[in-house]
Amino acid sequence: KQEVTQIPAALSVPEGENLVLNCSFTDSAIYNLQWFRQDPGKGLTSLLLIQSSQREQTSGRLNASLDKSSGRSTLYIAASQPGDSATYLCAVGETSGSRLTFGEGTQLTVNP
């Protein structure tokens, strides 16, 4: 059974700092991995999707990497801003079109 863990559970940083969020998964036989953002009381916004054959994806100030063999992914946020404050969720898809298994999330606070 796939299990996804995110560390740290919460993170507070000053504005402008670069930061890394970590995600690990127990079964390396994954199809893809997605990073989402969830704002309080809101739905999920997809940030980046990495296919199992890829090593990283970039979008603006965000960079996600994937090391399938070690069961790890990281989300790097450059030059953090207060608007980046949210909960970041990592989710693993195990086969094409299948369910996603989510981590518990990292609650990020960027202080002005």
Partner 1 sequence: NAGVMQNPRHLVRRRGQEARLRCSPMKGHSHVYWYRQLPEEGLKFMVYLQKENIIDESGMPKERFSAEFPKEGPSILRIQQVVRGDSAAYFCASSIYTPGHSQETQYFGPGTRLLVL
- Interface residues with partner 1 (CB under 8 A)? 32, 34, 36, 41-46, 49, 51, 89, 91, 93, 96-105
CB of 102 to partner 1, least distance (A): 4
Give whichever of 7 and 79 is closer to partner 1, judged by the CB atom.
7
Q: Beta strand pairing status for 56-59 and 4-7?
A: unpaired
The residue to which tokens 């940030």 are assigned: 47
Q: Hey, what are 96's tokens?
A: 């094409």
C-alpha distances (whole Å) from 89 to each of 28, 35, 82, 98, 103 are: 18, 6, 18, 17, 6
Give whichever of 80 and 101 is closer to partner 1, judged by the CB atom.
101
CB of 44 to partner 1, least distance (A): 4
Give whichever of 8 and 16 is closer to partner 1, judged by the CB atom.
8
